Each structure stands twice: as structure tokens, then as C-alpha cells.
């Protein structure tokens, strides 16, 4: 008789950390192939569109980088929060908070032109942080479950935003519920002529190593990880858990807020209903695939940007519904969770003598 | 203001409260069961959506509404099973597994709906459930039209509240489920299958969430829309906390939420308060957070909630 057993591992080899996400992605592609076939498309042809569309031209590649930017920010936001086991499912709402703040500041006529972009970044981070502080305070003061509050606050922020752009903040020139455009000087500089490669892309690239530094080389980062790994030991070590949770929330919210600032400053130049098609939730998938490592967030975000871009091309070419990208995210998250088991356990196959 | 309220708080309003409460009652009871067994099912939002789509689609093609409900329950049960594999058998994080289940179910609902129905200019619809006036009972003044002239699913939901209390507190199964949620080690020593009961709790929760979702696309409305759940599942998670994991209190929470929701709908429609309608839509969510803040300090969740159980570990 053969028995399968899970045994704990003391340490996770580095090669495993790098290859696990690849295995998870391979499994996801395999599982989703069934849906593609169900849609009546040739799986290989559909997958060629899904995975390669981003690399067809310089333009497509840059567009994919642009798409990767907001989800890199939300991925970083989630990676920081989940390290402390602060279950911030609210990156979506914090992103919107950041976007609203950025669009508001970016539209102020009285401000000097040079100050607009820095102020948008600062105010957007502050707004995202503030919106994340609410559930943190509710958690530390009133023991309110952070999952529920962060989720509900997403809806509250969305309705708040829609009330603004459909009411007092509505662009009088637009037939839709949109906010007025930000000033020309507030638009993010373009880094590559004739593309949409804007300042936000660069900021995301910088934010990842900075977040890594924060988590790995500072006291706050150490405390965040300590609280997440063993809160009881952390408390005995004199770490003030409520303070750490609050700081985690602020950092996480500020990062999610940057996603909103970057979308407003670099892409939309205003706030409107379709600002975020679930970027906050995609951030959870990305952070998990990156094993909560800020540096891993960048390739993971790029990969999902490839999938999101590719799904549209695939849908146009083969008729497979574009929502395959959504299924893909869910399946990838689940596959990665299962794969992570192997960082903690190893599968042991043992032969057991069958008793007669 | 008083006059408006007088105008709003009529029989029809309270009938609407019961109607709005129904999917919440069903899904909240489902969530309560699985949490009582020690597993948080954050798949709820996605499961309700997938079930709303499955139920609608099955009814659309078979012409039978009850077959639709069955399909919705099946979809819910399957997703409950998936949650079971992830959180019970593999012992993975209940938080992230639940989010994964929600993302997967949501994606599947969108994908399959688009695959089956394409992008028609007019969304397909079905002949939805009709209200069934119960003989004699519906004739009672005030109470009759509020409680006894409703959809069949409303009666089922209302009956499920005492039935759940009975199941949870007065049957061996309920006792075992609670034991598994409070002290799985002791339950295991007493010969109760922790794994089995947690799976059962999850499947039951999936089925109840499924009916809750299907109620929205098959009774409340007669079509499936992508935003048909829009946060109701997450609200149910909060209602379980507010309801202290007790069927009757959960029922009370659902009624309270539905009351505020119905009130904001009527206030919106009355047009007396000149505010953007989105602020009204926000009200029930704000209320839910306030309620959570009020009760969470004294809330006592099942002791083993969120904790995976591995037999061989001590």
C-alpha cells in the first residue's frame, strides 16, 4: 500500500519560491483550457492570443506596462497588509479614495503648476491611508473584523464617488457622471513619446524596491512581519500590536491610493464609474503569487497585465468571452495557495506493508 | 419628515422588507452553519452570484423555476465542496481561499453567462416566481399581506429560521457541528469526524447561499445582471457577527438591514430628500459597519473559527 503524507519542512529552498508561481500558472492554464474548449475555440490559438498579444509590438508592450501599474500598486498594498495578517480586502476602495483626492487636487486652479503632481501624489497617498485607517482603528479599538469592514468600505467609497461625480462634482460639459478633467499641468509626464508610458509606471517600479526595503530593512517592517507570524511572541517582545496594525494599514492604504493617483494622472485625467475594474481584488491575486514579496509583485503584476490585455485580443479573435481573465485570476489564486503548501510541507510517498 | 414616514410605513413597505430580507436570511443562515463548524466561507459573494446565474439559466432553458432553484443549490454545493477541499482537507488560509472562491465563482458566472447568452441588446428574462397568497392566513389584517402573500421562497426562508435553530441546538448533528467549531480536538476524541462535519457545514452553506442568490435573479427580478448581488454576500458575513452566530439573532439582523434598505429605496423614490441616490444606496453599508462596531467587542465567535484541524498534529 502506498500512503501519501505531508511532512513539515524546516526551510523553503529558494528555487522552490521562484518556480512555485510558474507551476501555479501552468496549472491555471491547464484548468482554464477546459473553458476555452467549451467556448468552441482552438485552445492553442486562443492561448497564443492570451499570452503573446502583449509582445506583438512596442505599442502593445508599453500598453501592458501601463495596465500593470495600478495592479502593481494594489499588489504591493496587499503584500504589506497580509504580512501583518491585516486582511485588507479594501485596496479597491483605497484606490478610489486616492483617485478622488488626485482628481480634486489636480483640478485646483489656484495652485502653482509645478506643485500639482507632487500634491496629487501626497494627497492621494494620504486619502488611501485614511480610508485604510478606518478599518484598522475599528479592528484595534472595537475588535471589528477587518475583512468585513474593508470589503464594505469598498462599496461605500464607490457610492460616495458616484454621488460626487453625479452630483456636485459633475463635469457640466459631460453627459456622463464624470468629474471635470484635471489641469493639463497636472497630467503625468509621458516617458516615451507617442505612447501612454507615464510617470506612474516609473513610480510603480520604484515603489516595489522601496516597499521591499521597508519590509526587510526597517524596524517597522520587522515588526509588521513579527505581528503577522506570531502575535503572541510579538507582544512578549514588547511590540505594540495596535500601533503596528495601524501603521501597516496606513502604508497599505497609501500604496493602494497611489494606484488611483496613477490612473487619474496618467490615464483618465478624471474620476468616473469605470475607474477600477476590480484592481483592488486583482492585487490580492498578485500579492499571493508573489508570496507577499514586494519584489515578486512586479513580475506577477506584469503577468496579469499580459492576461488582461491578452484576454481582450483573444476575445476579438476567437470569440472566447473576455471574462476568461476573471476566471483565470480566481483559479490562479487557488492554485498558488495549494502550491504554497509545498513551501511548508513536502509530499512523502511511503510504502506501508499491508496487513493481512 | 413625519408625514413622509407615515406615508412610507404602510403594509406594502413591510411586505417589501420581508422580501428584501429573504436572500439575506438564507445566505446568513448558510454562513452561520459553516462558521459554527469552524470555517469562514468568504466565497459567499461569488457563490450567490454564480447561483443566481445558474438558477436563472436552468430555469430559462427548462422552463421550470424549481429546477432552477435546484441548479442554484447544486452550484452552491459544488463551491462549498471546493472550499472544503481548500480549507478543511488542505488546511489553507480560510480568508484567501474564500476570496479565491469568490473570484473564481464571479469569473465563472460572467464567463458562462456571456458564453450561453452572448451580448443581446435586451437581456433575456424568465417568467419569475409569483407570489402565493396562503388561504385564510393572507386574510389576516396587516399581518396577512405582509407575511402571507409572498413568494414561496419567502415562506421557505422564514420556516428555515426555526428549523435551523432546531437543527443546531436540538439534534445530534447540530451538537456535533458546534463541538467541531468550538473544540475539534475533543470532538475528534469523542469519535466525531471533524472533516466530515466541516464539509457538511460548507456544502449546506453553499446550498443556502445558492438559494439566496437565485431568489434575486428568479423572484425579486426576472433576469440575471452582473451587479445582482452587489455586496449582499459581504453584508451577510457581517450579519452573522451581528447575529452572534445564532439563527434567531441572524434573522433579526437580516430584518434590520432589510428595513433600512427598504427605507432608503422608498426615500429615494419619494424624492423629498434632495440628495444623490448613491448616498441612499450607501446607507445600509454604513449601518452594517456601525452595527459591527457596536457588537464586535462582546462577540464571541466559535473558538476554532479560522483554525485548520490536522489530526496528527498536537
Say whether A321 and B110 touch across the interface (CB within 8 A). Answer: yes
| Whole-number Å distance between alpha carbons of A78 and A86 | 9
In this predicted structure, what is the pLDDT of residue A167?
87
- Asked if residues B284 and B260 have their Cβ atoms less than 8 Å apart, the reply is yes
- Asked if residues A91 and A256 have their Cβ atoms less than 8 Å apart, the reply is yes
Tell me the torsion sign for CA atoms A201, A203, A206, A211: negative
CB atoms within 10 A of CB A258: 30
Q: Which residue of B has its CA nearest to A6?
A: B90
- Asked if residues A223 and A246 have their Cβ atoms less than 8 Å apart, the reply is no
Cell (9 digits) for A210: 522601496
| pLDDT, averaged across chain B | 94
All structural domains of chain B with their residue ranges: 13-117+148-229
Q: What is the total residue count of chain A?
A: 356
Cell (9 digits) for A29: 492554464
Average pLDDT over residues B138-148: 86
- Asked if residues B30 and B237 have their Cβ atoms less than 8 Å apart, the reply is no
Please identify among residues 111-140 of chain A the ones whose CB lies closer than 8 Å to any CB of chain B: 138
Nearest to B103 among A164, A330, A338 (CB): A330
Contacts of B292 in chain A (CB under 8 A): 138, 142, 144-145, 148-149
- Asked if residues A324 and A32 have their Cβ atoms less than 8 Å apart, the reply is yes
CATH number assigned to the domain covering A2-351: 1.10.3470
In this predicted structure, what is the pLDDT of residue A3?
67
Secondary structure of chain A as H, E, C letters:
CEEEEEEECCCCCHHHHHHHHHHHHHHHHHHHHHHHHHCCCCHHHHHHHHHHHHHCCHHHHHHHHHHHHHHHHHHHHHHHHHHCCCCCCCHHHHHHHHHHHHHHHHCCCCCCHHHHHHHHHHHHHHHHHHHHHHHHHHHHHHCCCHHHHHHHHHHHHHHHHHHHHHCCCCCCCCCCCECCCCCHHHCCCECCCCCCCEHHHHHHHHHHHHHHHHHHHCHHHHHHHHHHHCHHHHHHCCCCHHHHHHHHHHHHHHHHHHHHHHHHHHHHCCCEHHHCCCHHHHHHHHHHHCCCCHHHHHHHHHHHHHHHHHHHHHHHHHCCCCCHHHHHHHHHHHHHHHHHHHHHEEEEEEECCCCC
In this predicted structure, what is the pLDDT of residue B313?
60
Contacts of A285 in chain B (CB under 8 A): 103
More confident residue, A67 or B311: A67
Pick from B84, B98, B234, B294 the residue to mutate for testing the A interface (most A CBs within 10 Å).
B234
Non-local (6+) Cβ contacts of B37 within 8 A are B177, B178, B180, B181, B197, B198, B200, B201, B202, B302
What are the 10-residue block averages of pLDDT along chain A, 356 residues in total?
A: 67 81 96 96 96 95 97 98 96 98 96 96 98 97 93 96 93 89 96 93 98 97 95 93 97 98 97 94 97 97 97 96 97 95 74 59
Q: What is the ipTM of this complex?
A: 0.94
Tell me the torsion sign for CA atoms A176, A182, A188, A194: positive
Nearest to A144 among B97, B106, B293 (CB): B293
In this predicted structure, what is the pLDDT of residue A18?
84
Say whether A285 and B42 touch across the interface (CB within 8 A). Answer: no
Pick from B45, B49, B89, B96 the residue to mutate for testing the A interface (most A CBs within 10 Å).
B96
Query: Residue written as cell 521597508?
Result: A214
pLDDT tens for each residue of B70-123: 999 999 999 999 999 999 999 999 999 999 999 999 999 999 999 999 998 888
Please identify among residues 160-199 of chain A the ones whose CB lies closer than 8 Å to any CB of chain B: 160, 162-164, 166-167
Contacts of B237 in chain A (CB under 8 A): 145, 147-148, 151
pLDDT tens for each residue of B7-46: 777 888 999 999 999 999 999 999 999 999 999 999 999 9
Amino acid at each position: 500500500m502506498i500512503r501519501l503524507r505531508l511532512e513539515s519542512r524546516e526551510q523553503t529552498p529558494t528555487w522552490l519560491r521562484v518556480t512555485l508561481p510558474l507551476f501555479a500558472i501552468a496549472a491555471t492554464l491547464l484548468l482554464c483550457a477546459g473553458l476555452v474548449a467549451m467556448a468552441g475555440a482552438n485552445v492553442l490559438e486562443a492561448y497564443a492570443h492570451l499570452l503573446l498579444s502583449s509582445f506583438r509590438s512596442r505599442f502593445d508592450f508599453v500598453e501592458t506596462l501601463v495596465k500593470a501599474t495600478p495592479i502593481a500598486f494594489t499588489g504591493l498594498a496587499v503584500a504589506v497588509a497580509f504580512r501583518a495578517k491585516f486582511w485588507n480586502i479594501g485596496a479597491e476602495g483605497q484606490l478610489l479614495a486616492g483617485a478622488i483626492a488626485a482628481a480634486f487636487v489636480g483640478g485646483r486652479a489656484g495652485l502653482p503648476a509645478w506643485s500639482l503632481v507632487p500634491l496629487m501624489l501626497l494627497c492621494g497617498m494620504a486619502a488611501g491611508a485614511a480610508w485604510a485607517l478606518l478599518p484598522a482603528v475599528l479592528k484595534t479599538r472595537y475588535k471589528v473584523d477587518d475583512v468585513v469592514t474593508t470589503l464594505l468600505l469598498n462599496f461605500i467609497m464607490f457610492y460616495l464617488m458616484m454621488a460626487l461625480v453625479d452630483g456636485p462634482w459633475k463635469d457640466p460639459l459631460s453627459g456622463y457622471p464624470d468629474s471635470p478633467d484635471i489641469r493639463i499641468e497636472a497630467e503625468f509626464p509621458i516617458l516615451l513619446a507617442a505612447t501612454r508610458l507615464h510617470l506612474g509606471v516609473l513610480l510603480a517600479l520604484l515603489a516595489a524596491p522601496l516597499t521591499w526595503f521597508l519590509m526587510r530593512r526597517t524596524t517597522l517592517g520587522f515588526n509588521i512581519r513579527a505581528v503577522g507570524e506570531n502575535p503572541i511572541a510579538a507582544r512578549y517582545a514588547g511590540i505594540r500590536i495596535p500601533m503596528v496594525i495601524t501603521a501597516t494599514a496606513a502604508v497599505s492604504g497609501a500604496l493602494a491610493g497611489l494606484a488611483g493617483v496613477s490612473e487619474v494622472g496618467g490615464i483618465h485625467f478624471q474620476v468616473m464609474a469605470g475607474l477600477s475594474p476590480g484592481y483592488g481584488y486583482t492585487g490580492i491575486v498578485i500579492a499571493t503569487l508573489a508570496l507577499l514579496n514586494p519584489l515578486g509583485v512586479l513580475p506577477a503584476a506584469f503577468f496579469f497585465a499580459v492576461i488582461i490585455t491578452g484576454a481582450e485580443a483573444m476575445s476579438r479573435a476567437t470569440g472566447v468571452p473576455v471574462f476568461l481573465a476573471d476566471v483565470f485570476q480566481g483559479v490562479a489564486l487557488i492554485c498558488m495557495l495549494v502550491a504554497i503548501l509545498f513551501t511548508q510541507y513536502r509530499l512523502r510517498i511511503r510504502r506501508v506493508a499491508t496487513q493481512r | 419628515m413625519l408625514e413622509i414616514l407615515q406615508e412610507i410605513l404602510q403594509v406594502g413597505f413591510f411586505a417589501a422588507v420581508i422580501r428584501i430580507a429573504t436572500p439575506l436570511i438564507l445566505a446568513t443562515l448558510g454562513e452561520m452553519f459553516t462558521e459554527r463548524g469552524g470555517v469562514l466561507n468568504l466565497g459567499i459573494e461569488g457563490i450567490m452570484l454564480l447561483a443566481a446565474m445558474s438558477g436563472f439559466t436552468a430555469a430559462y432553458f427548462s422552463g421550470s423555476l424549481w429546477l432552477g432553484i435546484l441548479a442554484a443549490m447544486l452550484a452552491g454545493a459544488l463551491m462549498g465542496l471546493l472550499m472544503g477541499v481548500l480549507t478543511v482537507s488542505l488546511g489553507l488560509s480560510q480568508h484567501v481561499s474564500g476570496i479565491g472562491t469568490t473570484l473564481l465563482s464571479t469569473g465563472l458566472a460572467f464567463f458562462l453567462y456571456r458564453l450561453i447568452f452572448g451580448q443581446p441588446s435586451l437581456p433575456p428574462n424568465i417568467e419569475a416566481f409569483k407570489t402565493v397568497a396562503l388561504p385564510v392566513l393572507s386574510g389576516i389584517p396587516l399581518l396577512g399581506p405582509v407575511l402571507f402573500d409572498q413568494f414561496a421562497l419567502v415562506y421557505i426562508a422564514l420556516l428555515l429560521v426555526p428549523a435551523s435553530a432546531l437543527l443546531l441546538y436540538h439534534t445530534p448533528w447540530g451538537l456535533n457541528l458546534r463541538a467541531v467549531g468550538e473544540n475539534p480536538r475533543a470532538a475528534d476524541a469523542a469519535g466525531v469526524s471533524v472533516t466530515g462535519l466541516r464539509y457538511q457545514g460548507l456544502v449546506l452553506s453553499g446550498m443556502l447561499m445558492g438559494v439566496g442568490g437565485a431568489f434575486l435573479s428568479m423572484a425579486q427580478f426576472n433576469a440575471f445582471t452582473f451587479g445582482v448581488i452587489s455586496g449582499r454576500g459581504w453584508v451577510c458575513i457581517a450579519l452573522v457577527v451581528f447575529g452572534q452566530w445564532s439563527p434567531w439573532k441572524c434573522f433579526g439582523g437580516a430584518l434590520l438591514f432589510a428595513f433600512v434598505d427598504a427605507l432608503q429605496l422608498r426615500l429615494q423614490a419619494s424624492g423629498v430628500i434632495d440628495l444623490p441616490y448613491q448616498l441612499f444606496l450607501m446607507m445600509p453599508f454604513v449601518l452594517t459597519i456601525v452595527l459591527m462596531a457596536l457588537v464586535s467587542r462582546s462577540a464571541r465567535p466559535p473558538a476554532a473559527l479560522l483554525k485548520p484541524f490536522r489530526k496528527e498534529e498536537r
